[in-house]
Homo-oligomer: A and B are copies of this chain.
Amino acid sequence: MDSVYMDHASATPVRAPVIEAMMPYFDQHFGNPSTVYDIGSNIKNVIEEQREKVAKLIGSKTEQIIFTSSGAEANNLAIKGSVFARQKKGTHIIISAVEHHSVLNSARFFERMDFEVTLLPVDEYGLVAPERLLDAIRPETVLVSIMHGNNEIGTIEPISELSTICKEKGVLFHTDAVATVGNIPVDVNELGVDMLSLSGISLGAPKGIGALYFREKLRLMPLIHGGIQERGRRGGTENVPAIVGLGKASELASEELTDRINHVQELRGILVAGIHERINNIIYTGHPEKRLPGHASFCIEAIEGEALIFMLNQEGIYANTGSACASKALKTSPVLVAIGIPPDLAQGSIVFTLNSSITFEEVEYVLKKLPFAVEKLRSISPVWRKKTAA
């Protein structure tokens, strides 16, 4: 086996049909959609067709989708755009303790304007308790943002319960669904959210594209001010090839989702059971059932996660540790801290994220190589030697 890539939450190869769909928009249909002549204005229709495909995937109306350059930009637009538009209504934002940096830091940005940001604690599985949210809401709360699926521990939050509370209290609700759209069924009406962010990366679209769903008539200040693109909600010439890529990837996801889920769930089951059989002193992080189907995350005792990644790398296995974006910035993952993992154990974080291309043979290969790597690292670990000698 040449290599086994199991870090699809961080990045995923763009699939052939998606690349094929994008290609003509680089040099043939290259017009600027804001122009009035045919080869420009035709592109406007192309964009609307893609918007429809994205809308269909998440059960929204076409005109409720804004294209952005990433899931991170969608999160920034949701939080900053809605809070700036409601600035006079209150100065309190609620997020969970396990949000992505783009949500956390967008909320924190308002602290300089005398806003208060509440970080809702989560339980041992990473779940936000609805009653905790209810208690945290104040008259001055303008926005609640709680992620749909956690990219690090795979846990899926009870969004419809949380959004119901917000609706009753008249508070805006946003969810970062970057980890879920393309991986599980997502319907904005079932979730009952006012805004939802998604990313091309999780869908097998290229980097550099994301989208924000927003409820009709919701006021939103642009994050990127400019011309009339995206009905005045996001300036800058539309990234047509990437939008076409996201459209195609959304179409494929709509068609294939059930098969994808069955496939990755089965292989993830084999992977998790196999790891538990072969490695002791290890915990499966995140919720055992309420989790992303292709997501398997662990904390392994007496191991440095990064060292394990490097050892697996040498065997051609690609996995992640902690959050992809934060991996170099922080030694201890805030998500693992939030679910109560002791710092020592949190160091041993490893995350496998599967997609539908993963084969049984690849899972077997990981199950063969991983225990050796763990054993080797433990053999040079003073903590492990002390523990096993005792």
CB within 8 Å of B: which A213-252 residues: 221-229, 235-242
Closest B residue to A209 using CB positions: B208
A309 at the interface (CB under 8 A from B): yes
Q: How many copies of this chain does one complex carry?
A: 2
**Are the CB atoms of A225 and B313 closer together than 8 Å?**
no
**Are the CB atoms of B236 and A73 closer together than 8 Å?**
yes
- The docked-state distance in angstroms from the alpha carbon of A32 to that of B328 is 13
**Are the CB atoms of B38 and A226 closer together than 8 Å?**
no
A34 at the interface (CB under 8 A from B): yes
A379 at the interface (CB under 8 A from B): no
CB within 8 Å of B: which A193-223 residues: 201, 206-210, 221-223
**Are the CB atoms of B14 and A325 closer together than 8 Å?**
no
Q: Indicate which residue in B31, B207, B241, B323 contacts A238 across the interface (CB closer than 8 Å).
A: B207
Known interface pairs A37-B318, A310-B36; A69-B208 also in contact (CB < 8 Å): yes
Residues in B with CB closer than 8 Å to A319 are 37
- The docked-state distance in angstroms from the alpha carbon of A38 to that of B309 is 10
1/0 contact string of A8-20 vs chain B (CB within 8 Å): 0011111110010
Known interface pairs A102-B225, A329-B227; A237-B207 also in contact (CB < 8 Å): yes
Residues in B with CB closer than 8 Å to A209 are 208
1/0 contact string of A94-130 vs chain B (CB within 8 Å): 0000001110011011001000000000000000000
CB within 8 Å of B: which A232-289 residues: 235-242
- The docked-state distance in angstroms from the alpha carbon of A40 to that of B225 is 32
Total interface residues on A, using CB and 8 Å? 79
**Are the CB atoms of A36 and B306 closer together than 8 Å?**
yes
Q: Indicate which residue in B27, B28, B32, B100 contacts A7 across the interface (CB closer than 8 Å).
A: B32
**Are the CB atoms of B39 and A14 closer together than 8 Å?**
no
Residues in B with CB closer than 8 Å to A242 are 207-208, 239, 242
A-B contacts, 22 of them at CB < 8 A, read A7-B40, A10-B34, A11-B40, A16-B27, A39-B318, A70-B239, A72-B236, A75-B226, A101-B226, A101-B235, A102-B227, A102-B235, A105-B226, A108-B225, A109-B225, A201-B237, A206-B241, A208-B241, A223-B223, A227-B323, A228-B328, A229-B325
